[in-house]
């Protein structure tokens, strides 16, 4: 069935480091892809999305490109801040959102 796999966390980085969180998916067709972020004590917030192959979603310095050939949607940011510390979820849409297990990011000053 349809599924999403994310790199395991926690990921610990120093402020201003480069971030990559890997996400691959298995699905028939070409689903829309999403990254959601969950800050401590808060609900899920949409970070970015891409609806077709080669689309690049971007928001708040984060980017992810929909790669059909590798079935991937890796999240990147050039310079992380302490305030980016959160859990990041990759998801695909096939009538419903199917989430990965989440990757916890901790950014140290």
Strand spans (E) along the chain: 3-6, 11-14, 19-21, 23-26, 32-38, 44-50, 56-59, 62-65, 75-77, 86-93, 97-99, 103-108
Residue 5 contacts other proteins per CB under 8 A = no
Please say which residue, 75 or 91, places its beta carbon nearer to other proteins. Answer: 91
Residue closest to 78 by CA, chosen among 33, 4, 17, 15: 17
Q: CB of 4 within 8 A of CB of 53?
A: no
Binding residue for other proteins, selected from 57, 102, 105, 107, defined by CB under 8 A:
102
Residue 109 contacts other proteins per CB under 8 A = no
Residue 44 contacts other proteins per CB under 8 A = yes
In DSSP terms, 56 is beta-bridged to 65
Binding residue for other proteins, selected from 15, 46, 61, 78, defined by CB under 8 A:
46
Residue 2 contacts other proteins per CB under 8 A = no
Residues binding other proteins: number (CB under 8 A): 20
Residue 95 contacts other proteins per CB under 8 A = yes
């Amino acid at each position: 069935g349809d599924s999403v796999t994310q790199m395991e966390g926690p990921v610990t980085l120093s402020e201003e480091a480069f971030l990559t969180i890997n996400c691959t998916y298995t699905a028939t067709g070409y689903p829309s892809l999403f990254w959601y972020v969950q800050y401590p004590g808060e609900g899920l917030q949409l970070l970015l999305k891409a609806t077709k192959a080669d689309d690049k979603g971007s928001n708040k310095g984060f980017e992810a490109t929909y790669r059909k050939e590798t079935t991937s949607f890796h999240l990147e940011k050039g310079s992380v801040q302490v305030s980016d510390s959160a859990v990041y979820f990759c998801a695909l849409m096939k009538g419903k959102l199917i989430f990965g297990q989440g990757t916890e990011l901790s950014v140290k000053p």
